[in-house]
Amino acid sequence: MDGPATAPVSIDACQGCGACLLTCPTHAIRPVPGGLTVRADRCTGCLECLEVCPVDAIRTVTDRRGAP
């Protein structure tokens, strides 16, 4: 993966408020059955979603090379 780290949503902690959906400037966060997902091809790694999540359900991950 050549893109930046994504900010996946932890389905267990997500309360479904939609704050991240409304905040994401590239519309990378999408609803899926059972929760939300982040489209890596759209995520720029700005982490605005992380800032607005009221339950801290969003965390950053590293790619396969270990780069943030």
Helices (H), the chain: 19-23, 48-52
Q: Is the dihedral of CA 58, 28, 23, 46 positive or negative?
A: positive
Q: Is the pLDDT of residue 66 over 50?
A: no
Is the separation of the CB atoms in 52 and 20 below 8 Å?
Answer: yes
Is the separation of the CB atoms in 7 and 50 below 8 Å?
Answer: yes
Tens of pLDDT, residues 5-60:
445 556 568 888 899 999 999 999 988 887 888 888 898 888 899 899 999 888 87
Whole-prediction pTM: 0.69
Task: Tell me if residue 48 falls in helix, strand or coil.
Answer: helix
In order of start, what are the domains of the chain with their CATH numbers?
Answer: 1-62 (3.30.70.20)
